[in-house]
Amino acid sequence: MHALIFFVLLQYLTIFEGRFSSLLRATIAALMALCISITYACYFTYSSGLNIAFAASVLNSSVTEIRAMSIFFAVFALVAVVLFCLQYFSHETFKKISGTKCRLVTGILLIYAVSSVFYIANEEVKCGVEKDCTAAYLDRTPFYNLSFFLRAWDEQSRLKAMSGIKFSHTYRTIAPRFDEVVVVVGESARRDKLHSYGYDRDTTPMLDSQLNNNVILFTKAVAPAPYTMLAVPLSLTTAGNSSKNTARMYDSILNVANENGIDTNWISTQSSWGDDSFGIAAIAKRSRSVQWVGGSDENVMAPLKRVLGKPGRKLIYVHINGSHEPVCYRSSDFAYAFGKKTEDDCYDSTIRYTDTLLGNIFNTLRGHNAAVVYYSDHGLVKNQHGDYVHASGIPDKEAVEVPMLIWFANGRPARFTPRITGEYSTEYNYYLIANLLGLEVDGKRCLSALNRCYDFRRPPVVTDTSGIDRLYSSLPSVPI
């Protein structure tokens, strides 16, 4: 109904000529075409409409990611152009052939349209957390997809306003204490695609060789969200998805290390983009050294070796591209170890490439008093076309079931078991990494899974792409 109202208004504008009438018609037609094509793109790729998580990801995408994802969405740019032409030129044609009767009918329809607009404006609108109701009103128009971008922008602005908040903690020194802790944050790797977790393909030969003596393997790790923009900050900070304490998105483990005289470093192949006072980039900026190296994941090795060559204790975050979609259209990041005949071949090759990178990091750290933590931010799911994509709406369990491990350069300490088999949310990695640094924060030793008092009965919570918290146990399961 609302689409019809705006179509009638646009149709009525074709009768009049003025300085800005043609520009106004073109603008309205372009916006309608854009919104409709976005809907097509989301449903075709993700079997879901646009949501605030997708909108936020678009606003904060890097050039590299935009270039990669354009392969999926190039056809929908053509759809937008075709829709624009159909709308705009149909109105121009109507203007040429319209007579008195057509104008009379259009005028009557205009009265209906205006009265309907007033009705929409007077409906009770739930504005939510928005400072104004613009996004809520856009929900009732053909431009409804723009409302998600307004909400994402508003949320981003609210988080940026909190970036200056200072947090204070108390610390106690504990054992073990490693001089170098390297945290490798993977991308889009789902747990069931690693041979170390029982997959039938040899995707993790390097990791497999380390399991007996050097590794703690988390067999049931769960990501707190199915998309990077939320999953990574929740794993770095004290925010916690179930707490909804967005201010604590800036209370990161990097701050803990800085306050305790530990040198902090951030090395990333996911290049910085846009306003770096928000999200992952803002957290990374709390490091004393930040390097956006871009390109292939192996590019992190040279700066990592330089940092390791410096004296002093260190916390080093390495953020990689990993298995980010589209897995069959990556550049020469890696040799496709399993070929490119199917989407699974490509995805499995990205897992093997990450395994090789981890092996190089392990070899670099041998003989050091060091520990490496590796986990993926989230997993992917297969859409109706067989492509691996980010989950939308209520995610499948497989979209948040992630690999996680701790590797010890001098062998796994005797106090630790080779497997942690309880359900564990990576939102508690803040406390686990503090533990590896030899620090207990605010007396919360039992929030580190390395301590026996950690409560594995605590159910993991997952925030879906609509911002709704759900128990992991309640999610559907659609294994490959």
Contact 52, 152 (CB under 8 A): yes
CB-based burial, 143-160: b 16+ in 10 Å, e otherwise: bbbbbbbbbbebbbeebe
pLDDT for the residue 265: 98
pLDDT for the residue 322: 94
Digit-coded pLDDT (tens) for 172-222: 999 889 999 999 999 999 999 999 999 999 999 999 999 999 999 999 999
CATH architecture of 169-474: 3-Layer(aba) Sandwich (3.40)
CB-based burial, 363-396: b 16+ in 10 Å, e otherwise: ebbeeeebbbbbbbbbbbbbbeeebbbbbbebbb
User: H/E element holding 362?
Assistant: helix 343-365
Q: In this structure, are strands 461-463 and 221-222 parallel, antiparallel, or unpaired?
A: unpaired
pLDDT for the residue 173: 96
From the list 18, 34, 26, 16, the residue with the least C-alpha distance to 110 is: 16
Digit-coded pLDDT (tens) for 392-443: 889 999 999 999 999 999 999 999 999 999 999 999 999 999 999 999 999 9
CA distance 373 to 437: 12
Q: What is the pTM of this model?
A: 0.83
pLDDT for the residue 273: 55
From the list 371, 205, 184, 355, the residue with the least C-alpha distance to 269 is: 184
- The tokens describing 132, both together, are 């104004």
Q: In this structure, are strands 388-389 and 381-382 parallel, antiparallel, or unpaired?
A: antiparallel
Residue segments in the chain with a per-residue pLDDT below the cut of 50: 100, 129-130
pLDDT for the residue 159: 72
User: H/E element holding 425?
Assistant: strand 424-425
**So where are the chain's domains?**
2-160, 169-474
pLDDT for the residue 51: 79
